[in-house]
Structure 1
């Protein structure tokens, strides 16, 4: 059985939890508090030297890190990853966009504003810039979703899972989604997919 090391508020961990649930794959769940340094212990660093979550143990002593790499691994051969070469490349395109342009600028303000007691001097200066770049990423999504029901191949794929994770909680980073009707419509459609769970939900634990 898979074992997922995760931090419940994390959008990156949520991606994996959501796909595992939608694929109806059972897994053991191990929560680690990143704020308390639980991913920096000597034991955990032997599993993931980068000291981050999520981390999926796919077999004894065989670990896979990086949320989007885990999504690709789990979705291989399923309806969540297109078999067509062009569509698969578009999935990767959106997943690279998520990690380079979207997640650093939307997830970071959310973490700073919700999980830190206060902002340091750097964070106070960087926050407006992060939010500006986050809105730029949302603008890109809005244009595309204004013409397509989902991100790739007109259907729900792991590209949607990758970008939904932090987009739907963007208001927690003080992003205003009211200006993005296509994104809000897409969020509702993702939430209507079979097996959907919320970011605060662990299967079997309510």
Structure 2
């Protein structure tokens, strides 16, 4: 039998992506064993984050300031706008250090099954930003799933006919990937996106 507060903590942790009830129980037990070194600093950090972190009203990134540091950075190329599904995608691109433009976080993808249409995403804000001027290229960095591709087509249709160049991330063989281990869809995309050697 688990005490009420511990059970509540386990249930809350089990709601996190990648954690089920068993993993949540193990995490709680670990936190309890490391109460001073891990649990109390974690509680403090989560409390501070809940108070300080906000969603950027311009791009949708998470930061302690609004607009976020990326939107305020004068070294960023405002002519390039990279559209991503979630903040985690923005962070992944930032980690790579390969993109020096600005971002727009949609907050998900279009999904008829989940009842997510354009009104549930930050589509209107994207259109407003592009039509507001200054953006020369919109890079669609959306997942290669059915919903990601449907979202990319929707954005392309909405922005088609304007002065903005539209591009998408390439899909295909990952660096260090072996052909024998790749799925058919990845191989097909790699063949279609081939370039001169």
Instruction: Choose between structure 1 and 2 for higher RCO, CA contacts under 8 A separated by at least 6 residues.
Output: 1
In the superposition, the TM-score normalised over structure 1's length comes to: 0.28
In the superposition, the TM-score normalised over structure 2's length comes to: 0.29
Compare the two structures and name the one with the higher helix fraction.
Answer: 1
